[in-house]
Amino acid sequence: MSYPEGVRALVTGGASGIGAATAKRLAADGVPVVTADLAPGADERLDVSDPEAVAALAAKLGPVGILVHSAGIVGPSRPLTELGLDEWRTTFRVNVDGTFLLCRAFAPGMARAGWGRIVTMASIAAKDGNPAQSAYSASKAAVVGLTKSLGKELARTGVLVNAVAPAAVETPMNADTDPAILARSQALTPMGRFGRAEEIAELIAWLCSEQLSFSTGAVYDASGGRASY
């Protein structure tokens, strides 16, 4: 892949899973990458749901040309009628507010530069709706809507905004997910297996590159054939 000379990338959720694989993939193409995460091992510690923390990081880093917002949580895996409002809101704060805050902080600099790539992290659950994961499914559907809207807003600025919607991927984020939910996901996947973080990172790298030129506000599936639309 090719990228403009001097462009830098910020990858949230970059300490593990898809975020770490994406950071490694971009770095392999020579892109300077800053990772941000609450987990140990990232370059910057960041709570993506904290507006002041996001603003402070943006001030510290200055403009970046690539934003991959991979930070997220699965949230509770129980029937909707058993969920507490705080659990629901926490899932949305991380998955939706976090996406909003990161895009709001870094998109203006990209637009001023006349070039940028933003990749958000949706999910096949945004399209299908996973039973017993209503908070996660609804939050990822909100990420899809946000991505489509922002893609249209920035369409003439040189900044392209797209989402990736994986099916279940072998990552630490799924370590505590109900095994029954993961088994259902695998059963629904025609390829009959979970995705690998490196496979998702390959798609993200293309979405961040100069090779992408006529797509924005789109959702790219990485679902082993599960996605039907």
Phi, psi of 178, deg, nearest 5: -50, 125
Nearest to residue 133, comparing CAs of 200, 188, 182, 186? 182
Neighbours of 83 (CB within 10 A): 16
What three-state secondary structure class fits 163?
A: strand
Please answer whether residues 150 and 161 qualify as being in contact, where contact means their C-beta atoms are separated by less than 8 angstroms.
Answer: yes
**Residues with Cβ < 8 Å from 194, sequence gap 6 or more?**
167, 168, 169, 170, 182, 185, 186
Q: What is the largest CA-CA distance in the chain?
A: 52
Strands 44-45 and 33-37, how do they pair? parallel
Residue type, 217: G
Q: Is 19 helix (H, G, I), strand (E, B) or coil?
A: helix
Which DSSP category does 170 fall into? S
CA distance 214 to 228: 23
Nearest to 48 by CA among 117, 99, 90: 99
Q: Which sequence positions are flagged as catalytic?
A: 136
Of 135, 132, 130, 134, nearest to 166 by C-alpha is 130
